[in-house]
Structure 1
Amino acid sequence: MNAEIICVGTELLLGDVVNTNASDIAQGLAHMGINVYHHEVVGDNPRRLRECLRDSLSRCDLVLLTGGLGPTYDDLTKETVAAHFGRGLAMDEESLHTIERYFARTGRKMTENNRKQAMMPEGCIILQNPNGTAPGCIIEGENGKTAVMMPGPPREMRPMFEGPVTDYLMRRAHDGMLVSRTINFFGVGESELEARLREMMVSSTNPTIAPYAKTSEVQLRVTARAATEEEGLRLIEPVVRKIVEIYPDQIYGFDFHTINEAVVKRYTDAGKTLAAAESCTGGLIASRLVDLPGASAMFGCGVVAYSNETKQKLLGVSAETLGRYGAVSRECALEMARGVRAASGADVAVSTTGLAGPDGGTDEKPVGLVYVAVVSDRFEEVRELHLARGRADDRENIRFRSSSHAFDLALRALRQL
């Protein structure tokens, strides 16, 4: 089965809303073994949506649409798709009662235009929406073509897709499923990985191996097509094991989205705590940790010590160190990490100090020079980094990469505890 994804909404075209729906749906379809070859975004315009839908269904068996199911005049996805399949719209009483109960439960007044959302294409499969007012639906055409319509807000779309839509599609998928494992790397570039593993990537067809570069890290996704998840994992396991043997020191984990997610999970599972003292990263380490649920179990202290005075007063960095080596130094980074660990009682502490730019660098200490330290009872290390790339976003890039290096050191320290 081949599928295409159409996300409807002028706000997506304007960039006012990030289109996460396409990513979520594509990943789910891949797991079911359904191929996706095109994504489309179209505004709230019936003519352009008709053209987009016609082109998609000329290429594939299944189209999944999000958005345009609301109560306003420009929400016309149902009307447009129903017309393509030669269907009219009729009031569905169960959907109307569900919408009425939703308004009663939330204490809001239901306006007349909300009734429009209960008008459903004739003969469709209705997908109730307990998380909002817009039910979804599935239209099956006589020629084997199918359209699935879901609401646009992710908090409404995801439960509908992961529940009734996935159940429906799994009954129709006949080619097995795609099973993947992600190998997470830090400290090795995509080009180096590709060069070293090229022969394996080219020769391996099931599973396949594909690299994905992210800021400051790389992922290898190993994907197998199989009848069951267990069979897919059996196909994947020897390939993963061989890659681990090639890169024993650069792999920080498996199936993580980001290195900060790995830190939160690993420290929480181990029952250990982490603290951070930040200068050039300005709180980015703390922010990337607390962005993730559950961070409170492992992260209790973050200090942004931008000035030398704060480094001395809060972190115990000595005046002698600052006078002799400066704030941007290996010695200062180490004292910052020791200081925040002593103050917080954390098992491990990391620190950053450096020059994020764009101004302030010298020949001896240029913009992009950063020192990242980690301290525990059993492990101390300081990294000297040179992160300037001469790009317009260098400051942001330097800060982000510095925080990622701090996370990598935190994981290495945890393994020593």
Structure 2
Amino acid sequence: MNIQAELISIGNELLSGRTLNTHGRDLGEALAAIGLQLSRDTTIPDDIPVIGSAVDEALARVDLVFASGGLGPTIDDITRDALAKLLNQKVVIDQPTVDYLKEWYEQRGRTITLASTRQAQVLESAVVLPNSVGAAPGQRIELPQKKILFVLPGPPNEFNAILSEEIIPWLKKRYADARPRLVRVVCTQGIGESDIVTILEATGYEPQGIDLGFYPGMGKVEIRLAAAPGHEARIEEAEQTLRELLAGHLELS
């Protein structure tokens, strides 16, 4: 099973450098843990045509699309409008979310306003995903050809709460047969990437069916081996051979 996903992060503040975008890291890790793959991470501005085209193109490529950001109460929070236009759907008020927002604001000594209720707007076909740590809920929109569009708020704590509490459990049920890729890690020290590659090439080390990744930093290189589920013997053999070839350069435990 090879289910791929794309993330579209929406917000001028992400492109200007004012806000650090951590969604790709968090989503990629969460999906990999249940056997799904984040294949692309795109950041775009708050612009209705750009949002529409980015989501449309992503849905043409993969089964799962995550769009984050632009769900707040201000005039530049236009993600709902862009998606409604793309999917030819109405934007409606979700009354349970309005009730939740009233209580949410009261607990903080504030009164809900008409602008605040904008955060309760969802697409008419959406399944509303509760936001346990913030205001605007997430949305799950099921589309033709088994495509799924998830819409999430931008703040990382809210994004991750909805992801872990609502989306990942649902995906685990939907793709119950998915299995995480096998991963092994070999860490070296005192040797650079180019020297490691020279050693491996000189010995003809090129394990079949194994993806190799090299991640240098602070005098060390982390080598990650990855393989499809069911190839335990193959990846264990590749790891053992790699350790033997680099025996004089392995990081001390």
TM-score bracket, shorter-length normalisation: 0.7 to 0.9
- 8 A Cα contact 1:189 1:218, kept in partner: yes
For the structure 1 residues 107 and 66, does the alpha-carbon distance in structure 2 shift closer, same or farther, using more than 3 Å as the test? same
Query: 1:138 offset after TM fit, Å?
Result: 0.8
In 2, the alpha carbon distance for the partners of 1:233 and 1:108 equals 56
Whether 2:241 is the aligned partner of 1:247: answer no
Q: 2:208 aligns with which of 179, 204, 208?
A: 204
Query: 1:203 offset after TM fit, Å?
Result: 2.6
Q: 2:68 aligns with which of 66, 69, 74?
A: 66
In 2, the alpha carbon distance for the partners of 1:224 and 1:105 equals 49
In 2, the alpha carbon distance for the partners of 1:151 and 1:80 equals 15
The 5 Å alignment of 1:124-143 reads 124-143=126-145
For the structure 1 residues 220 and 126, does the alpha-carbon distance in structure 2 shift closer, same or farther, using more than 3 Å as the test? same
Q: Which amino acid aligns with 2:159?
A: M
For the structure 1 residues 179 and 76, does the alpha-carbon distance in structure 2 shift closer, same or farther, using more than 3 Å as the test? farther
Query: Percent identity among equivalent residues?
Result: 27
Q: 2:89 aligns with which of 79, 87, 90?
A: 87
- Counterpart in the other structure of 1:7: 9
- 8 A Cα contact 2:34 2:172, kept in partner: yes
Give the gaps of 5 or more residues in structure 2: none
In 2, the alpha carbon distance for the partners of 1:249 and 1:152 equals 46
- 8 A Cα contact 1:102 1:130, kept in partner: no
In 2, the alpha carbon distance for the partners of 1:97 and 1:232 equals 51
- Counterpart in the other structure of 2:190: 187
- 8 A Cα contact 1:126 1:136, kept in partner: yes
* Secondary structure, counterpart of 2:145 in structure 1: coil
* Secondary structure, counterpart of 1:106 in structure 2: coil
For the structure 1 residues 204 and 112, does the alpha-carbon distance in structure 2 shift closer, same or farther, using more than 3 Å as the test? same
In 2, the alpha carbon distance for the partners of 1:184 and 1:111 equals 55
Query: 1:94 offset after TM fit, Å?
Result: 1.6
TM-score by length of 2: 0.86
Q: Deviations over 1:102-151 (max 9, x none)?
A: 22333344332111111111121211111111110110112322211111
TM-score by length of 1: 0.55
* Secondary structure, counterpart of 2:84 in structure 1: helix
In 2, the alpha carbon distance for the partners of 1:114 and 1:14 equals 26
Q: 1:155 aligns with which of 151, 154, 157?
A: 157
In 2, the alpha carbon distance for the partners of 1:95 and 1:179 equals 40
For the structure 1 residues 188 and 151, does the alpha-carbon distance in structure 2 shift closer, same or farther, using more than 3 Å as the test? same
Q: Deviations over 1:300-355 (max 9, x none)?
A: xxxxxxxxxxxxxxxxxxxxxxxxxxxxxxxxxxxxxxxxxxxxxxxxxxxxxxxx
* Secondary structure, counterpart of 1:63 in structure 2: strand
Q: 2:217 aligns with which of 214, 226, 245?
A: 214
For the structure 1 residues 109 and 239, does the alpha-carbon distance in structure 2 shift closer, same or farther, using more than 3 Å as the test? farther
The 5 Å alignment of 1:92-103 reads 92-103=94-105
In 2, the alpha carbon distance for the partners of 1:154 and 1:233 equals 35
* Secondary structure, counterpart of 2:146 in structure 1: coil
In 1, the alpha carbon distance for the partners of 2:198 and 2:99 equals 60
For the structure 1 residues 66 and 72, does the alpha-carbon distance in structure 2 shift closer, same or farther, using more than 3 Å as the test? same
- 8 A Cα contact 1:85 1:141, kept in partner: no
Q: Which amino acid aligns with 1:95?
A: T
- 8 A Cα contact 2:48 2:78, kept in partner: yes
- Counterpart in the other structure of 2:45: 43
Q: Deviations over 1:47-94 (max 9, x none)?
A: 111111122122222211111111111112122223322221222122
- Counterpart in the other structure of 1:377: none
In 1, the alpha carbon distance for the partners of 2:249 and 2:77 equals 49
In 1, the alpha carbon distance for the partners of 2:132 and 2:248 equals 47
In 1, the alpha carbon distance for the partners of 2:190 and 2:131 equals 45
Give the gaps of 5 or more residues in structure 1: 253-411
In 1, the alpha carbon distance for the partners of 2:113 and 2:234 equals 55
- 8 A Cα contact 2:225 2:239, kept in partner: yes
In 1, the alpha carbon distance for the partners of 2:156 and 2:127 equals 21
Q: Which amino acid aligns with 2:238?
A: V
In 2, the alpha carbon distance for the partners of 1:195 and 1:28 equals 34
- 8 A Cα contact 2:134 2:158, kept in partner: yes
The number of equivalent residue pairs is 248
Q: Which amino acid aligns with 1:99?
A: L
More relative contact order in 1 or in 2 (CA 8 Å, sep 6+)? 2
In 2, the alpha carbon distance for the partners of 1:235 and 1:153 equals 41
For the structure 1 residues 181 and 111, does the alpha-carbon distance in structure 2 shift closer, same or farther, using more than 3 Å as the test? farther
In 2, the alpha carbon distance for the partners of 1:101 and 1:238 equals 57
